[in-house]
Amino acid sequence: MAIFEGSGVALATPFYENGEINYDVLKDLVEEQIAGGTDCIVACGTTAEASTMTHEEHIEVIRFVCEVVNKRIPVVAGTGSNCTETAIYLSQEAEKAGADGILVVSPYYNKATQKGLIRHFTAVADSVKIPVLLYNIPGRTGVNIEPETIVYLCKNVENIVGVKEASGNFSKIASLMSMAEGCVDVYSGNDDQIVPLMALGGKGVISVLANIAPKQTHHICQSYLDGDVQTSAKLQLQAIPLVNELFCEVNPIPVKAAMNLMGKKTGPMRLPLTDMEPENQEKLKKQMEAYGLL
């Protein structure tokens, strides 16, 4: 059984101006997502700026989100690292904190071989009992988790159940789905490709867009799951101009700018990320207005 179906939000982390985590706002963001129909919360993913958190902060955010959610919807914790021992440590701590699953990105910078990826993911999965989602995002990591590798892992490691696919390569994704024969739960990692991926058998999305449009993102997925493909496709296409602006600079710069424009008080970025360029923020604002968010 899938960890979730539908719209999972890759939740942004709010910071005070001094860079400390704003847990009061984080609680509000979690409650807003649940009220908006979001089907799963992903804590400490890319959008959360987890790569600039200390291990203590990383674990505390996961614990806090799990506590606030209180099993109302699943919580998946991002616990990936380019160090296998670190990924194991974070995964075990996420399990202790109450996470319903973990999301483990392929090791970045090291650029492991497929054999190395198999050993890495197997070691992490074997260290916990909760379900594991792989995270394939070669644009950030420099390596693609090949379809054969994903299928092998899902067939041979009991608690590796699926993948967040952000490669954008639909030929590879189609090959994966063909080989998987239903043993791999696939989620779109790209907000402009939710419906196409679900058409191949995907379970939904792990979304950046949902940070500012939880109801709309949920509706895209739920319409498809309900068999109303026409409505789902229409909603997907309506979101494309806004999604394009949400990725005109590296994520999560634009989405945090959007959240601040909506009064969500998510605060600044942590270095090395910086505030959005004014001209890009103006374009983003116009698309938010056109989408009905401002």
Q: Is the confidence at residue 1, as pLDDT, over 80?
A: no
Give the mean pLDDT of 89-105: 98
> For residue 188, is pLDDT > 90?
yes
Nearest to 132 by CA among 187, 172, 171: 187
Is the pLDDT score of 215 beyond 90? Answer: yes
Nearest to 259 by CA among 2, 18, 47: 47
> Could you tell me where the DSSP H helices lie in the chain?
23-35, 55-69, 84-97, 114-126, 138-141, 147-156, 170-180, 194-199, 214-225, 229-246, 253-261, 278-290
Tell me the C-alpha to C-alpha distance, in Å, between residue 221 and each of 39, 125, 236.
10, 28, 9
In the chain, % of residues over pLDDT 90: 99
Which pLDDT score is estimated for 157?
97
Average pLDDT score over the chain: 97
pLDDT, tens digit, 9 for 90 and up, residues 236-292:
999 999 999 999 999 999 999 999 999 999 999 999 999 999 999 999 999 999 999
Give the mean model confidence (pLDDT) for residues 52-76. Answer: 98
CA distance 263 to 152: 45
Question: Which domains, from first to last, does the chain contain?
Answer: 6-229 (3.20.20.70)
How would residue 104 be classed by pLDDT, with cut points 50, 70 and 90?
Answer: very high
Q: What is the mean pLDDT of residues 134-151?
A: 96
Q: How many CA atoms lie within 13 A of 24 on its CB side?
A: 3
Query: Is 75 a residue whose pLDDT tops 90?
Result: yes
Q: For 21-25, 68-72, 180-184, which range has the lowest pLDDT when averaged over its residues? A: 180-184
Summarised one tens digit per residue, pLDDT across range 161-174 is 999 999 999 999 99
Whose tokens are 């939904």? That residue is 204
Report, as residue numbers or ranges, the catalytic residues: 135, 164
Query: What does the pLDDT average to over 216-231?
Result: 98
CA 86 vs. chain centroid, Å, equals 20
Look at residue 200 and tell me whether its pLDDT is greater than 80: yes
Which residue pairs from 22-26 have beta carbons closer than 8 angstroms and sit at least 24 positions apart in sequence? 22/265, 22/266, 22/267, 23/64, 25/264, 25/265, 25/266, 25/267, 26/61, 26/64, 26/65, 26/68
Give the model's pLDDT for residue 79.
98
171 is written with which tokens? 């030929």
